[in-house]
Structure 1
């Protein structure tokens, strides 16, 4: 069984820091959850990815990581959830069992001790077992289910800063159904039970650089580097009895099997999920996941320009042109169009002449409210200006 699952975790943080790249402290004070938004995370190729070096005032540069594919997630305020009364938020993701995958919603809680995984909701999902048993009528089924974790793993303990450590554990259960003619099984109830332990150590602080959605490098983002050493012990039961080896072996699992994984996450203030998450298995890096929106949401990582944008016309029609007047000399490196959730959705074409430039609005852009942001060649950012696209 694969050890990793994607869990979209909400980190609503307040930060104490002095200068860019300085040591930071993450706390829960004055945290305010969003009502909901969409997020686009990217999976990058893991070629050449090695274990990040810990220590003080580091710079981790991943700007050259090649893009593989994106995944859109939806995060929701769950403080009134009828399913998990202790939930604070939820995020869409998935659950994996070997090569099988089911859509899932992962629920998180929040209290004075930290943010923690509460439980999950799994959607019913079935697969044929032809490649395993040779019989196209044999099936593997994730049963629709809600499960509250037994025990608690803090994805973030408060307060958190460089050289902090903590360890926690929980039990996860997944209900399945198997149809395997060779064993006389027809929708037989199967339970996968996982005893899960995580050790978290903040091993570094500094700045991370990631690819943006236009594949250009982001400005440096202030982060803590956290190393997570995870261990899972798996057991399998069928009809309430321990599953026999001749049934588990074809799935590549066994009773009491131990899986280990090492994960490195880069956490930044004001960001609800890791800027970068790297999963390492026995064969090296297995997943490299990054969020370009971090570069736009975390303004503390950028030196702000005192320049201001004057935009006309506003509203502007789709496919039209914006005239942007800059009130001082400013060498524009790029313009970005953001939606109301802070996601970068377009890198419009810009024609610059002195303090003025023209920005082309994509004709396929849906009507609505957007924000135009300018960044100079040194990574300094002009505060974004609101525009209306008609």
Structure 2
């Protein structure tokens, strides 16, 4: 009788655990254009997630850096399906120059994918690199539909799923460089991507919301490895080393990136995303986000900001000064912090002024590197009243 009871108990436990696993497919992954409300997380505030079955990833208490929404728009490009949506992206072309383009995402019975990209006409003077003021880098208007889409999720996605993609990304350009005898000569940057996605775990996850934690969500843990090899061509032939060297690029430059995503039913955007940079062991996070969409209550940051607003300018910051203006409701001290994406402070001041209009100018140290920062304004109790993203571009 004892043995039978144990066997029945084991069977029940197995049945319950099996039910906790989810399968993601086109019918239960909601896909549409919208603004994704995501929040940046200080990577030193959580334990790196462990892979495995039937995990409990409790991230209900995290150190939040600030809100960083991300917008997806409906596609208006006839090269893609009517269901496609777009996200803004940038890619380096030569030293100090980035091409702006839109990624096109789509979903069908095969999966959730990057289907291609499109770029508008762009012009970049490059005289500071070549010594001739008339030298120019031209990006013509172009659309590329990938022959092999990059799948973020390959349906059906289960606890044992694994998929790979090899995709060729091509950016066409024209180049004028007087010293090389080039006058709007056609060229291209070709990036060959090799991606591997593998579900490395399943279980439940919760994240912050309100003044506490969210409910538990069934999730799949997907680890993504991305290898990218860049090549440059002029008139269909490999660009000479003298030319690529002048622009600070090289043939066959290889980069590797590693990420972990936690996907749940009901949303194409992951509940949590961790970027490990070049760490192939997935152990040292560089930055992380979680989404506050489709949770059962407003996040604490949203509640705190209902009755507080601040003007923060200029943004992007191109000099050393940042202006911050807001109304201070009481005589208690407040604090302003500028933190980087890792949550580390690069500037902090305490305000002891009485209540009234505050107009504060912050001097940003020359040593602060260009990139994304967050301006956090806290009250005397440490409550974050405002957290705004700024770009430092000097």
Residue deviations 1:110-130, cap 9 Å, x none? 332222221111233444446
Q: Which residue of 1 aligns with 2:119?
A: 122
Q: Write 1 or 2 for the structure with the bigger share of helix.
A: 2
Q: Which residue of 1 aligns with 2:163?
A: 166
Question: 1:143 deviation in Å?
Answer: 3.3
Residue deviations 1:139-179, cap 9 Å, x none? 44443321111223322111111122121222111123444
Aligned to 2:20, the other structure's residue is in SS state coil
Rounded to whole Å, the distance in 1 between the matches of 2:129 and 2:208 is 39
Q: What is the TM-score with the length of structure 2 in the denominator?
A: 0.61
Quick check: 1:43–1:289 contact (8 Å CA) kept in 2? yes
Rounded to whole Å, the distance in 2 between the matches of 1:68 and 1:266 is 20
Aligned to 1:295, the other structure's residue is in SS state coil
Rounded to whole Å, the distance in 2 between the matches of 1:43 and 1:144 is 33
Q: Which residue of 2 aligns with 1:74?
A: 72
- Which stretch of the first structure deviates more once superposed, 257-266 or 183-192? 183-192
| Structure 2 residue 311 is matched with structure 1 residue 347 | no
How big is the alpha-carbon RMSD for the aligned residues of Structure 1 and Structure 2? 3.7
Aligned to 2:295, the other structure's residue is in SS state helix
Question: 1:265 deviation in Å?
Answer: 0.9
Residue deviations 1:43-91, cap 9 Å, x none? 4455577753201222335542442561430332x5xx65224453212
For residues 149-164 of structure 1, the aligned pairs below 5 Å read: 149-164=146-161
Residue deviations 1:287-325, cap 9 Å, x none? 4233221434xxxxxxxxxxxxxxxxxxxxxxxxxxxxx
- Which stretch of the first structure deviates more once superposed, 202-211 or 265-274? 202-211
For residues 1-390 of structure 1, the aligned pairs below 5 Å read: 22-29=20-27, 33-34=31-32, 36-46=33-43, 52-62=49-59, 63-67=61-65, 70-76=68-74, 78=75, 83-86=78-81, 88-97=83-92, 100-129=97-126, 132-133=129-130, 138-212=135-209, 217-282=213-278, 285-296=285-296, 336=298, 346-347=302-303
Aligned to 1:271, the other structure's residue is in SS state coil
Q: What is the TM-score with the length of structure 1 in the denominator?
A: 0.62
Rounded to whole Å, the distance in 1 between the matches of 2:174 and 2:80 is 28
Quick check: 1:198–1:231 contact (8 Å CA) kept in 2? yes
Quick check: 1:104–1:121 contact (8 Å CA) kept in 2? yes
Rounded to whole Å, the distance in 1 between the matches of 2:214 and 2:132 is 50
Question: 1:236 deviation in Å?
Answer: 0.9
Aligned to 2:103, the other structure's residue is in SS state strand
Quick check: 2:41–2:62 contact (8 Å CA) kept in 1? no
Quick check: 1:109–1:117 contact (8 Å CA) kept in 2? yes
Question: 1:204 deviation in Å?
Answer: 0.8
Aligned to 2:62, the other structure's residue is in SS state coil
Question: 1:137 deviation in Å?
Answer: 5.3
> Structure 1: any 5+ residue segments left out of the alignment?
1-16, 297-334, 338-343, 350-360, 365-390
